[in-house]
Amino acid sequence: MTTLPFALNHMTTPALSVGAFFALARSLGITSVEIRNDLTDNAILDGTSAAEVAALATEYGLTILSINALQRFNEWNETRAAEAAHLISYARDCGAKALVLVPVNDGSGQADGERQANLKEALSALKPMLDAARIIGLVEPLGFDICSLRSKTEAVDGIKAVDGEASFRVVHDTFHHHLAGEPAIYPEMTGLVHISGVTDSDVAIRDLRDSHRVLVDKNDTLDNIGQIRRLKAAGYSGPLSFEPFADEVHGVADPANAVKTSMTYIEANI
């Protein structure tokens, strides 16, 4: 078993079926996973039922931490409400503990005042839906310049404004924390940590994209080790979920060895 509470996001190996992905996690001694609703030819998009996913999780002895994700959650409308209802019911029925909430990331909804109002409107609408299903909403600020919710402070303020402390947590994503340049962390309000590294030191911070996100190693420029140390020192003891988006990770011949190497490196330095 690992000494840190590692988890595995399906984005680490998007070509694997859910069953193969679950088997990979267990082979690494990992007992917590995140499934996604944005992987073509895979659950949830391929029609795999929540009951099937739940049965597979039971078979492999896994906890499903989250479904990743309800996109554009802070642009609340009838379409979003329907998407939220579907994903929350799927999360409930497959045994997932949470639903990741990703903000609008196209340059719209960024004005001061507008951002906060949109956030509160969405959180207020989501809160009773999540509570009824006993699902936690994981708000994930993104560090990109064009994102409508970059700040964890703003996310936490919004959650508190709707009395949502029992319904919501924030995601600390090491990549987005670095991009946002916001020093504040909220260990008591953090429900999940996403970890990925960047080894290309020639790219300016503002030019970094998901395609640069690899597994964490000694060449990491995001200070994942420092971020994890700081979170742990401040009291965070929850999961650390691998979420690399880079094609070179997705195409690796031996994903088990690649993830294990990163796990060993992180454990040796924390």
pLDDT-flagged residues of the chain (< 50): none
Average pLDDT, whole number, for the chain?
A: 96
Q: Name the E strands within the chain.
A: 6-9, 32-36, 63-70, 98-101, 136-139, 168-173, 190-195, 240-242
Alpha-carbon distances of 248 from 60, 87, 211, 241, rounded to whole Å: 27, 30, 9, 19
Domains of the chain by range and CATH? 65-208+222-237 (3.20.20.150)
Task: Report helix angle 255-269 to 224-233, nearest 10.
Answer: 60
Provide the whole-model pTM.
0.97
pLDDT tens figures, 199-227: 999 999 999 999 999 999 999 999 999 99
pLDDT tens figures, 187-205: 999 999 999 999 999 999 9
Q: What does the radius of gyration of the chain's CA atoms come to, in whole angstroms?
A: 17
Q: Return the bridge partners of 197, or none.
A: 214
